[in-house]
Amino acid sequence: MPQIIKFWKPFNVLTQFTDKDGRPTLSDYISIPNVYAAGRLDMDSEGLLLLTDSPRLKTRLTDPHYEHPRTYWVQVEHIPDESALQKLRGGLELNDGLTRLAQTELLPRAPDLPERSVPIRFRKNVPDCWIQLTLTEGRNRQVRRMTAAIGHPTLRLVRWAIGPITLAGLQPGEWRPLTRDEENALWKSALRK
């Protein structure tokens, strides 16, 4: 049976196990041999990473062909109106092409998250809010580029879910193996296409 763990990658940690420059990496938190991240998060992003020793699962979760959903909570500057949210939903033209449709909603309140190790830039006269985006592709810095394209720069980015697996029950820097039920749900989700 493949190993699959879920991990809350903290802010300012690289999504790799080594770094020649000595920056924080996954090896500062995880010491299980032969597991690798199924996908990436930028150093300045936080949230859910799945790590596995299954090349098949890794491919099913990360290859855009399989359209596996990933859900992000994004704190942005200003309050997007319905027109801006519709642009996110309908696909945006970025410098590397048109994005796929994205499920997008304005969250009624900030999600209950721990404070980030480095606080976000706060400006008293600039309101902010949280949106939830679910994408089925994973381009480089895509969420940040999408929110910037609609005039609402990202302040904080947290990946909440990959398919049916969420951060629930973890704190930044914590990990645990998936339960049998979580594994079954993840495989079902990953093999649906």
List residues with catalytic annotation: 42
The answer to whether residues 14 and 20 touch, using CB atoms and an 8 Å cutoff, is no
Q: What angle do CA 81, 108, 48 make, to 5 degrees?
A: 100
Cα–Cα nearest to 140, from 96, 77, 92, 91: 96
Cα–Cα nearest to 34, from 13, 5, 11: 5
Distance CA 37, CA 79 (A): 33
Strand partners, 137: none
Which of 83-119 are b and which e, b meaning 16 or more Cβ less than 10 Å from the residue's Cβ?
ebbebbeeebeeeeeebeebebeeeeeeeebeebeee
Single-letter code of the amino acid located at 184: N
3-class secondary structure, 106? strand
